Amino acid sequence: MVSTEASLETIDRTALWQSYQDVRRFTEDLCATLIPEDFVVQSMTDVSPTKWHLAHTSWFFETFLLSRLQADYKPINPLYTFLFNSYYNAVGKMHARPRRGLLSRPSVKEVFEYRRHVDEGMDRLIHSAGEETAATIKPVLMLGLNHEQQHQELLLTDIKHVLAQNPLKPVYRPAQNTPETQTQPLQWIHYPGGIVEIGNDGQEFIFDNEGPRHREFLEPFALASRLVSCGEFLEFIEDSGYHRPELWLSDGWSLVQQENWEAPLYWEKVDGEWQVFTLHGMQPVRHSEPVCHVSYYEADAYAAWAGASLPSEAQWETAAAVLEIEGNFVESGLLHPEPPQEADKDYPEQMYGDVWEWTRSGYLPYHGYKPPPGAIGEYNGKFMSGQMVLRGGSCATSGSHIRSTYRNFFRPQNQWQFMGIRLAQDL
Query: Is the N-terminal amide bond of 212 cis, ω within 30° of 0?
Result: yes
- What angle is formed at CA 238 by the lines to CA 236 and CA 239, rounded to 5 degrees? 65
Torsions phi, psi for 275 (to 5 deg):
-125, 160
Q: Tens of pLDDT along the chain (427 residues)?
A: 444 334 434 578 899 999 999 999 999 999 999 999 999 999 999 999 999 999 999 999 999 999 999 888 999 999 999 999 998 888 889 999 999 999 999 999 999 999 999 999 999 999 988 887 878 898 999 999 999 999 999 999 999 999 999 999 999 999 886 777 788 889 999 999 999 999 998 888 899 999 999 999 999 999 999 999 999 999 999 999 999 999 999 999 999 999 999 999 999 999 999 999 999 999 999 999 999 999 999 999 999 999 999 999 999 999 999 999 999 999 999 999 999 877 667 899 999 999 999 999 999 999 999 888 876 776 777 888 999 999 999 999 999 999 999 999 999 999 999 999 999 999 9
CATH number for 188-426: choose from 3.90.1580.10, 2.20.28.10, 3.30.1540.10, 3.40.50.11260. 3.90.1580.10
304-323 pLDDT, tens digit each: 999 999 999 999 999 999 99
- Three-state DSSP at 278 gives strand
The pLDDT assigned to 343 comes to 64
Amino acid at position 163, single letter: L
- Given the DSSP bridges, would you call strands 408-410 and 388-391 parallel, antiparallel or unpaired? antiparallel
CA 265 from chain centre, in angstroms, equals 17
Contact of 338 with 354, CB cutoff 8 Å: yes
The pLDDT assigned to 135 comes to 82
